Amino acid sequence: MSAELADRVVLITGAARRIGAAIARRLHTAGARIVVHHHRSVADARALVAEFEAARPGSALALAADLLDLDALPLLVEQSRAQWGRLDVLVNNASSFYPTPIGTITPAQWMDLMGTNLRAPLFLSQAAAPALKAARGLIINITDIHGIKPLRHHPVYSAAKAGLILLSQSLARELAPDVRVNAIAPGPVMFPEQGLAPGVEAEILERTLLKRRGSPDDIAQAALFFAAHAPYVTGQMLAVDGGRSARA
């Protein structure tokens, strides 16, 4: 274990599985104390906390909250801060993703996708701002390259992630000089659990400059960079996409 983030307290939304869990593991290995937020992934969250506690007792906590419930967000921040008396980093990672072809979009889908991907990061950042200012901390927003290059059949998701990119820049201005705010835009790192149509994955990877899939740890390494090695970087978005966003 390194000590790059020794005793820093990090709240990661959607941290029980997939990219969120990879970020949690990487920052925990760097010495951070991790708050594993989850909504329905109770067993995964408990298993991850048990893993962290076995490695370093007193270094992890699981908290459940529905991010679409705005009243739950200040409590989530307060519980995170109260555990160790501080909050240094907020990682807005939790996300909803599913197709919304233009002819079938419903108000409920709009509220869910915008709520999870854009509204929750805003209001959670608002709730966390005082604690982060006291710690001269950091917000990392996990967005998507499809916030830059829209994904077909996903107009609401793409718009929400585009909003999160601009929100990251706006919050960097609003919370400066005490809090840094940056974004990470993953490319083809993890595909939907329900799978893709035959040939689609290969087609997506062909569009990257590196012609291969990334890994969740590529995103986690970027998060570690912002948290431990970039004290003069704020208001930026780092695309971790194998060069996909560089293509025409």
* Higher local confidence (pLDDT), 232 or 190: 232
Give the Cβ contact number of residue 218 at 10 Å: 18
The average pLDDT across 162-177 equals 98
Number of domains making up the chain: 1
Query: What's this model's pTM, rounded to 2 decimal places?
Result: 0.96
Strand order in the sheet with 60-64: 60-64, 33-38, 9-12, 89-92, 138-142, 180-186, 237-240
Its domain, for residue 235, covers 9-246
In a domain, 111, yes or no: yes
Q: Measured in Å, how far apart are the chain's first and last C-alpha atoms? A: 41
Burial class (CB in 10 A: 0-12, 13-18, 19+), 46: middle
The average pLDDT across 189-200 equals 73
Q: Is the pLDDT of residue 124 over 90?
A: yes
Q: Across the strands, what pairs with 64?
A: 38
Residue 142 φ/ψ, nearest 5 degrees: -90, 105
The average pLDDT across 121-134 equals 98
Tokens of 56: 């370093």
Handedness of CA 7, 8, 11, 17 (dihedral sign): negative
Q: Beta strands 33-38 and 60-64: pairing type?
A: parallel
In a domain, 125, yes or no: yes
pLDDT of res. 200: 74
In a domain, 4, yes or no: no
In a domain, 181, yes or no: yes
User: Are 15 and 84 within 8 A, CB to CB?
Assistant: no
In a domain, 3, yes or no: no
Alpha-carbon distance of 119 to 221, in angstroms, equals 26
pLDDT digits (tens, 9 = 90+) for 133-152: 999 999 999 999 999 999 88
Q: Is the pLDDT of residue 168 over 70?
A: yes
In a domain, 24, yes or no: yes
The answer to whether 232 is a known catalytic residue is no
pLDDT of res. 248: 65
In a domain, 219, yes or no: yes
For residue 1, name the pLDDT band (cuts at 50, 70, 90).
Answer: low
Distance of CA 99 to the CA centre of its chain: 20
- Radius of gyration (C-alpha) of the chain in whole angstroms: 17
Q: Is the pLDDT of residue 196 over 80?
A: no
pLDDT digits (tens, 9 = 90+) for 14-63: 999 999 999 999 999 999 999 999 999 999 999 999 999 999 999 999 99
User: Are 165 and 171 within 8 A, CB to CB?
Assistant: no
In a domain, 131, yes or no: yes
The average pLDDT across 75-99 equals 97
User: Are 178 and 136 within 8 A, CB to CB?
Assistant: yes
What SS3 class is residue 5?
coil
From 11, 81, 156, 157, active-site residue: 157
- CATH number at 90 reads 3.40.50.720
Residue for token digits 């970087």?
Answer: 233
